[in-house]
Structures are given as structure tokens and as C-alpha cells.
Amino acid sequence: MIVGILGGGQLGRMLAMAGYPLGLRFRTLDPSAGAPAGHLTEQYVDDFTDTEALSRFAVGLDLVTYEFENVPVDSAKFLQRRVAVYPPPGALETSQDRLVEKSFFQRLGIPTPPFVRVDSWNDLENAIASIGLPALLKTRRFGYDGKGQYVLETEEDAVLAWQTLGGVPLIFENKIGFEREVSILAARSTTGETRCYPLIENHHEKGMLRLSLAPAPNLSEALQKPAEAYATRVLDELHYAGILAIEFFVLDGKLYANEMAPRVHNSGHWTIEGAQTSQFENHLRAISGMPLGTTDMKGCAAMVNIIGTLPDRRAVLSLPDAHLHLYGKAPRPNRKLGHITLSCASVEARHNQLGQLQKLIEFQLS
Amino acid sequence: MIVGILGGGQLGRMLAMAGYPLGLRFRTLDPSAGAPAGHLTEQYVDDFTDTEALSRFAVGLDLVTYEFENVPVDSAKFLQRRVAVYPPPGALETSQDRLVEKSFFQRLGIPTPPFVRVDSWNDLENAIASIGLPALLKTRRFGYDGKGQYVLETEEDAVLAWQTLGGVPLIFENKIGFEREVSILAARSTTGETRCYPLIENHHEKGMLRLSLAPAPNLSEALQKPAEAYATRVLDELHYAGILAIEFFVLDGKLYANEMAPRVHNSGHWTIEGAQTSQFENHLRAISGMPLGTTDMKGCAAMVNIIGTLPDRRAVLSLPDAHLHLYGKAPRPNRKLGHITLSCASVEARHNQLGQLQKLIEFQLS
């Protein structure tokens, strides 16, 4: 079976590595010739919107998936007329627009922070009046890693944000004073089988994921259960197949959905060593209709992203529980170059080695 | 760093999968265009003895290793004049000739079954007289998976074996009535750092490895310690870098070396999920001078080879602790097509799931 992957980044690369042992083969499509997945897959260097290129790409494929959520929906639908595409393009459509996404959560009874659509300065004034400040003003589309969004503390901030963002469809969201951010990874197979990983606690810096702890510290059934229920509702509603990630804020012990990603997710990279089945393998099992693997953890884990510059490789590899994952990318500011997973027998060992990792990579341990 | 691998079989394939996350890239050399490692590495299709091809292969490589022990020593030495080759070709030379290998063990004080060189019918008669029957008569070179060897129970067997094998250099070995077969995997880095995995118990069928149990049941320090001492002696003597496997017979609680393989080894495939660092990753860390990873086990493990025909993939993947590893090879009698690792929290769980695996793959659980 040959699987096509739209996007040749690190997620595509890790999907391929998880899939070869299952007997799958891979073809990736990416406009950049040096994309990380190209080192170990057949790579087509073409634009995602070039239908002739998409037609060529589709020849001989049994299945198509994608590794980033800004894949043009039209391209996914174009391919779908030739070959099965999972997750379904409808999931892409829902997740690509923050307003559509939050309205979707709301419709399914999944709590979100208060939000409202903003298409004009007048809308923005009304939003401030009705929902209040502090708040977030975000573009509805094409935001990632904190890009395309502003924090509004004052009315003045709103004026400044409007100068930059005004003119494209926006969403105004209440900035709830959450205690922490968590995410759930859930897999649903084409046969409807569903499995969830334990909730993960995520720490962001400058809008980018920096550190994930798995399971989330002090994880209780009171958090895990609703998270699984919400994820399952989303999966079923979208007739989903593959891995889906949902990010939540936690406030007073309750979950508020922030956003979802219809793909394998950075907060799930720890599963390669830390779970019985990795998110990458379960994504492939799910889209190809194979039985899902158990999502049980092996001990506990932490994942630290390598951003911008590479740490001393020898020092990282000297940490007994550390697993290095480099993506084969050249260093550049704010670029995700790899990650390190700590797969530990105990929370104490994890804490200790996170402390040691901090001497090699600058990150906050709050 | 680009690593060249002589041989494009499943071992090369698994080496590459372990090495990409370390930031390595791979080029494989194999005479067969469809070789398993070719799916995910840059592949050169050439003969191992073609020096022009070897020269082309070496261009741009930082390091060369090999994934089978019948690499022509001259080819390894030819490459060594252009680029570092690990494990050292001297290890190849020693392991390619059973007589040289067993003499080497003997010289290092590592017990072996009694053996003697046989170059003539007269030698064979003398061997039977001095060492006795039952015995094994083997070609000194190019034997693998039970090929090129005969069991001699009677003098008549000796006559028949001589008719087939006579004419090439042979070795006559006492067939000791061992209780079980075990193997040790040891890593030594170019810096001299050494680590050993726990002893593994191996079960062969028709001369091929069928089942490995890790750790070996009832493993005591009284077995593990001498195994580690012997392995370390071999590694140091050969100025070794990489993974080395040594197979032993166990008789009356003592180890007798049978043979060694200067490469990653089938009896170590369980380390992918079952150890903190896999044999493949440690081989690459060792030959590139990186710190070795810990060889600690995660729970316990078993490995079952898939030979000749593929089992029902859905059924295998339904076993909660099973990890499927297919090599991308077409089924053919007596061909290793893949393996299944059970990575379990307890010996009981392993026993239970081995029983379930037996319904999918025919193998003996003694």
C-alpha cells in the first residue's frame, strides 16, 4: 500500500518512519525540494494548488493524508475524486477557520471561551462592549504558532491591532485567565474504532509549543473523561479517520476548547517512546482501516522542542532517558528543528532530567 | 553526516530508521534493486566486489558500516582507504571463518565446544576418534541460517556429509548437549565506551532464529556477568566499534561461545520497543563516536520472526502489546519477511500473548 502525504515536513517524516514497519510505502508532496520527509520518501516537488501536479501525485496511491492543516481544501477535494483522502476534507474546512471551528465546538456542546465574529471596526467595538477586555483578536484563517493574533488589554491595543489585521475576517475571543493548557490526541479509524491518549500539559513560549508533559500533572478522571467525550463527539461528527488533536484551556477544573488540528500534533511527539503505540502509527492504522494500537503510556514522558538553534548533541545523548529527534532542517530563528523526548520510569526522574535539559536548551519549567 | 551501509536488507532498513532522528542520512549499496532499505535511503545498485562502484559509493560519505557479515573483506579494506569503516574489517575477517573465530575465542579464554580443523577425510576420521560423535561438520566460510552444515550421529553420516562438503575447508565441532541457546548484544563506541544488553534466549527452527525472549528466562548474574566479560574482551581485542552479537550454548550453567556476528543481530530486534535505546541506534551512536544510550529494558519482550508467509496483519495488530515490523519483501519459503515484537509489562502478559501469536504464526514455545 502506498500512502501519499501532502506536506513533507517533520510530521510527514515521522509518519513515514512509523509506517514502513507496517509494510506501507510513502510519497510526499511539498513545494520545497529540501523538505525533511524527502530524505526517506519518494518526493514530488510541486505546489499544492497545481491540479496537474496533484493528478500526477495521485497516480498509484492507495490513500492520501496530510501533515498540516492549511492544505487547500480544494486540493484535498480534487484528490478525493481520485483516491481516498483521510482525515476527511470536511475536518480541514472546519479547522481552517477559527470562527467556524469555535461555532462547531459550541454546536456539539463543547465549552469554549466567549467569542464573536469581527468583520468591521464597529464589530470590534461591540465585541469589547459585550465580551470585554482582555481579549484576543485573531485572523480567522492561516494563523499558526501565535501568528496573526494580538492580545488586547486596552482600547488602544484594539486600535493598533485593527490597523494591522483589519480587512480580513477576524474573531474576537475572551482571554480567559486559564490555569493551564492541555491537549488530547484521539484516533478514530475508518471502521469507527476510537482511542484517546491521556491529556498532555503544554507550555508555550512566544506562541510556540516549548514543552509537553505526559500525562498532564495531577491528571484526574474529572478532566480526562470530558476531554475524551468531547474528542469522540468531534470525531464522530466529522466521520473522522486519523489522529485529531484538541487544545483546551483549564479553568476552575473545567475544559474550554481553544482549537483543533486534524493531524498528528506536536504535543503528541512523546508517544514515539512514551506510549505503546505512537500517534504516527495510530494515524496510519486509522486511515488504512487497521485495528488501532493501545494508547497506554510506558512510564511518563516529557517533550521539549528544539527551536532555532541545535543543542550540543553529545550532551543531549548523555542524558539516560533522552531521545533525540532531529528533522534534518538547517537552523534558523523560530524554526522547529527537532525535539527531545524524555521517557522516564518516574515523575521524579523526569523532573530531574528536565532540569538537566534546561542547561542545554533554554526553556521555562513553571 | 552521511553513513554508507553495505547491504540493503532489513538490518540496513532498521539502521536507517534509527538514524534519521539522530540527524544522519543514509546511502545503501546492494546488488538487488528491490532491497528493503532502498525504500527509505539513497540506494546504489552495484556488486560488492566492483571497486569502481565502491569508489563511487564512497564519495561524500562520512562513515561506512555493513549489515551482513559476508561482506568481502577486501571490499571493506578498499573502502577503508577512503572513509572510516566500522566495525573494523578485522572483525569481519575473524567472524567469516569458523575456525579462525573459534580459535580467537579460545585465545581470549572464552570457552567453546571442542572443535578441530578438517581438510581431508583423514582429518575427519581423526576428529571422530579424538572428539567423538555426535558432532557437527561445517564449512568454515559462508554458512548462515543452518546452511553448509551437517549433524553427524554415526560414521555413516560422516561419509554422506563428506560427499557434499569435502573439498572446502571444514570445521568439526562437538555437538554438546546444551540446555539452551542465548546471545549477548554488546556495543562499543569509537571512544571505547562499552555497554551490554541483557542476555537473550533464542529458539531456532530449521536452523533459523524463530523466537527470542528478552531477558532470557531465569537470567542470573552468574550468566550475565561472564557473558559481558567475554563480549568486552572480544570488543577490546578487535578495537571494535558498533554492535557485536555473540551466541552461546548454556550447559550446566556455563557459557560456550558458538559464533559471533559483527553487526546488529536478529536476536536484538526486540530492543526497538523493549529497551531504552535500540541496538540500531546504539550501533550508529557507537560508530559515529556519540555517547552510547542506556541498554536498560522497558518491561520484558519477545521477538518472533515472520518467515516464508505473512500472517494476518489485522490479527497481529489486534494484540495489545504486539509491534509489527515488515521488511517490504515478497513472500518466499524460508525468507525472513519481518518480525513481531511483544513489549510487555510482565512475563505473564508475554506468555499469554505468545500463546495468542501461536494461533497466527506456527512456532514452538518450549
Which residue bears the cell 510482565? B346
% chain B with pLDDT above 90: 94
For residue A43, the chain B residue with the least C-alpha distance is: B40
Categorize the per-residue pLDDT at A207 as very low, low, confident or very high, splitting at 50, 70 and 90: confident
Rounded distance between C-alpha atoms, residue B102 and residue B118, angstroms: 14
Rounded distance between C-alpha atoms, residue B207 and residue B251, angstroms: 20
- Predicted confidence at residue B167, as pLDDT, reads 87
**A22 within 8 A of A281, measured Cβ to Cβ:** yes
DSSP H helical segments within B118-154, as ranges? 121-130
Residue type, A335: R
- pLDDT tens-place string over residues B2-53: 999 999 999 999 999 999 999 999 999 999 999 999 999 999 999 999 999 9
- Predicted confidence at residue A270, as pLDDT, reads 98
> Taking 70 as the threshold, does the pLDDT of residue A155 lie above it?
yes
Length of chain A measured in residues = 366
* Distances B206 to A231, B87, B146, B237 between C-alpha atoms, Å: 50, 29, 7, 33
Categorize the per-residue pLDDT at B339 as very low, low, confident or very high, splitting at 50, 70 and 90: very high
Which residue bears the cell 531521545? A323
- Predicted confidence at residue B144, as pLDDT, reads 62
Q: Where are the beta strands (DSSP E) in chain A?
A: 2-6, 25-30, 42-45, 63-66, 115-118, 135-139, 149-152, 170-174, 180-188, 194-196, 200-205, 208-214, 242-251, 254-261, 300-307, 322-326, 336-344
Question: Which of B17, B25, B290 minimises the CB distance to A317?
Answer: B290
- Predicted confidence at residue A146, as pLDDT, reads 64
- Predicted confidence at residue A125, as pLDDT, reads 96
Nearest CA of chain B to the CA of A36: how many Å?
Answer: 10
Question: Which of A25, A276, A314 minimises the CB distance to B321?
Answer: A276
Residues sharing a CB contact under 8 Å with residue A71, sequence separation 6 or more, in sequence order: A6, A7, A48, A92
**B295 within 8 A of B196, measured Cβ to Cβ:** yes
Mutate to test the interface with A, among B193, B285, B296, B324 (most CBs of A within 10 A): B324
- Predicted confidence at residue A69, as pLDDT, reads 85
- Predicted confidence at residue A145, as pLDDT, reads 62
**A87 within 8 A of A241, measured Cβ to Cβ:** yes
Rounded distance between C-alpha atoms, residue A193 and residue A171, angstroms: 34
- pLDDT tens-place string over residues B44-89: 999 999 999 999 999 999 999 999 988 999 999 999 999 999 999 9
Rounded distance between C-alpha atoms, residue A52 and residue B279, angstroms: 44
For residue B329, the chain A residue with the least C-alpha distance is: A23
Categorize the per-residue pLDDT at B266 as very low, low, confident or very high, splitting at 50, 70 and 90: very high
List the one residue out of A336, A204, A340 whose CA is nearest residue A269. Answer: A340
CB count, 10 Å around CB of A221?
Answer: 8
Which pairing describes strands A2-6 and A25-30: parallel, antiparallel, or unpaired? parallel
Q: Cβ contacts (< 8 Å) between B23 and chain A: which residues?
A: 313, 324, 326, 328, 338
Rounded distance between C-alpha atoms, residue B91 and residue B73, angstroms: 9
**A26 within 8 A of A66, measured Cβ to Cβ:** no
- Predicted confidence at residue B222, as pLDDT, reads 97
Q: Cβ contacts (< 8 Å) between B190 and chain A: which residues?
A: none
Residues forming beta bridges with residue A307, ordered by sequence position: A336
Categorize the per-residue pLDDT at A144 as very low, low, confident or very high, splitting at 50, 70 and 90: low
| Mean predicted confidence (pLDDT) in B344-359 | 95
Size of interface A-B (CB pairs under 8 A): 81
Mutate to test the interface with A, among B317, B321, B325, B327 (most CBs of A within 10 A): B317
Question: Which of B39, B290, B314 minimises the CB distance to A291?
Answer: B314
**B47 within 8 A of B53, measured Cβ to Cβ:** yes
> Taking 80 as the threshold, does the pLDDT of residue B130 lie above it?
yes
In chain B, what are the domains? 2-85 (3.40.50.20), 114-174 (3.30.1490.20), 180-358 (3.30.470.20)
Per CB distance under 8 Å, which residues of A are interface residues toward B? 13, 16-17, 20-23, 25, 39-41, 276, 285, 290-291, 293-294, 296, 298-299, 313-314, 317-318, 320-321, 323-326, 328, 338, 343
- Per-residue b or e along A67-82, where b marks 16 or more CB atoms closer than 10 Å to that residue's CB: bbbebbeebbebbeee
Question: Which of A17, A276, A320 minimises the CB distance to B20?
Answer: A17
Nearest CA of chain A to the CA of B236: how many Å?
Answer: 22
In Å, how far from its chain's centre is CA B355? Answer: 26
Categorize the per-residue pLDDT at B230 as very low, low, confident or very high, splitting at 50, 70 and 90: very high
- Predicted confidence at residue B57, as pLDDT, reads 98
Per CB distance under 8 Å, which residues of B are interface residues toward A? 13, 16-17, 20-23, 25, 39-41, 276, 285, 290-291, 293-294, 296, 298-299, 313-314, 317-318, 320-321, 323-326, 328, 338, 343
Asked if the Cβ–Cβ distance from A298 to B293 is below 8 Å, we say no
Rounded distance between C-alpha atoms, residue B66 and residue B86, angstroms: 8
Q: Is residue B67 left, alpha or beta, with left meaning phi > 0 and alpha meaning psi from -120 to 50?
A: alpha
User: Of residues B365 and A219, which shows the higher confidence score?
Assistant: A219
Q: Cβ contacts (< 8 Å) between B320 and chain A: which residues?
A: 276, 293-294, 296
Q: Cβ contacts (< 8 Å) between A17 and chain B: which residues?
A: 17, 20-21
Rounded distance between C-alpha atoms, residue B239 and residue B254, angstroms: 26
For residue A38, the chain B residue with the least C-alpha distance is: B40
Q: Phi, psi (5° rounding) for residue A205?
A: -135, 130
> Taking 80 as the threshold, does the pLDDT of residue A124 lie above it?
yes
Q: Cβ contacts (< 8 Å) between A290 and chain B: which residues?
A: 313-314, 317
Which pairing describes strands B25-30 and B42-45: parallel, antiparallel, or unpaired? parallel
Rounded distance between C-alpha atoms, residue A211 and residue A306, angstroms: 10
Q: Measured in Å, how far apart are chain A's first and last C-alpha atoms? A: 45
- Predicted confidence at residue B145, as pLDDT, reads 61
Q: Cβ contacts (< 8 Å) between A34 and chain B: which residues?
A: none
| Mean predicted confidence (pLDDT) in B325-354 | 96
Q: Phi, psi (5° rounding) for residue A243?
A: -90, 135
List the one residue out of A95, A105, A97 whose CA is nearest residue A171. Answer: A97
Q: Cβ contacts (< 8 Å) between A301 and chain B: which residues?
A: none
Q: Phi, psi (5° rounding) for residue B239?
A: 50, 50
Reported as type and span, the H/E element at residue B99 is: helix B98-107
Residues forming beta bridges with residue B137, ordered by sequence position: B150, B172
Q: Cβ contacts (< 8 Å) between B294 and chain A: which residues?
A: 320-321
ipTM for the whole complex? 0.94
Mutate to test the interface with A, among B22, B191, B272, B360 (most CBs of A within 10 A): B22
Nearest CA of chain A to the CA of B166: how many Å?
Answer: 42
> Taking 80 as the threshold, does the pLDDT of residue A317 lie above it?
yes
Categorize the per-residue pLDDT at B147 as very low, low, confident or very high, splitting at 50, 70 and 90: confident
| Mean predicted confidence (pLDDT) in A89-105 | 97
Residues sharing a CB contact under 8 Å with residue A110, sequence separation 6 or more, in sequence order: A230, A233, A234, A257
C-alpha cell read off for A188: 478514530
Rounded distance between C-alpha atoms, residue B348 and residue B300, angstroms: 10
Mean pLDDT of the residues in chain B? 96
C-alpha cell read off for B97: 571463518
| Mean predicted confidence (pLDDT) in A294-306 | 97
Nearest CA of chain B to the CA of A71: how many Å?
Answer: 25
CB count, 10 Å around CB of A358?
Answer: 14
Question: Which of A23, A39, A338 minimises the CB distance to B328?
Answer: A23
For residue A289, the chain B residue with the least C-alpha distance is: B314
Asked if the Cβ–Cβ distance from B22 to A324 is below 8 Å, we say yes
- pLDDT tens-place string over residues B188-208: 999 999 999 999 999 999 889
Categorize the per-residue pLDDT at A288 as very low, low, confident or very high, splitting at 50, 70 and 90: very high
- Global pTM reads 0.95
> Taking 80 as the threshold, does the pLDDT of residue B177 lie above it?
yes
- Predicted confidence at residue A167, as pLDDT, reads 87
List the one residue out of B35, B85, B26 whose CA is nearest residue B263. Answer: B85
> Taking 90 as the threshold, does the pLDDT of residue A65 lie above it?
yes
Mean pLDDT of the residues in chain A? 96
- pLDDT tens-place string over residues B271-283: 999 999 999 999 9
- Predicted confidence at residue B146, as pLDDT, reads 63
Categorize the per-residue pLDDT at A365 as very low, low, confident or very high, splitting at 50, 70 and 90: confident
C-alpha cell read off for B277: 535505546
C-alpha cell read off for B333: 519459503
Nearest CA of chain B to the CA of A11: how many Å?
Answer: 12
